[in-house]
Amino acid sequence: MTVEASDKQPPEEKTTTFTCRFCGQARQLDEMRMLTRFFPPLVVCRECEKVTA
């Protein structure tokens, strides 16, 4: 009896994405910032955070 090697690939990594409220682009979680000076707080990308500062 022989054991066959399976060609299973490791499960793909799921990435969490958010949509920027200003530019509308979907970005990964590590590229997003939360603007707490607004109520309710807004989730924006790094580039838009620099523009709104």
d(CA 16, CA 40): 21
Phi-psi region of 45 (alpha: psi -120 to 50; beta: other; left: phi over 0): beta
The confidence score (pLDDT) of residue 46 equals 92
* 5, two tokens: 């090697």
Q: Which residues of the chain have pLDDT under 50?
A: none
The confidence score (pLDDT) of residue 1 equals 56
Q: What are phi and psi of 31, to 5 degrees?
A: -95, 0
The confidence score (pLDDT) of residue 2 equals 61
The confidence score (pLDDT) of residue 18 equals 84
Residues belonging to the chain: 53
The confidence score (pLDDT) of residue 6 equals 62
Of 52, 45, 50, 49, the residue nearest 25 (C-alpha): 45
The confidence score (pLDDT) of residue 42 equals 86
The confidence score (pLDDT) of residue 17 equals 86
* Domain range summary for the chain, segments of one domain joined by +: 17-52
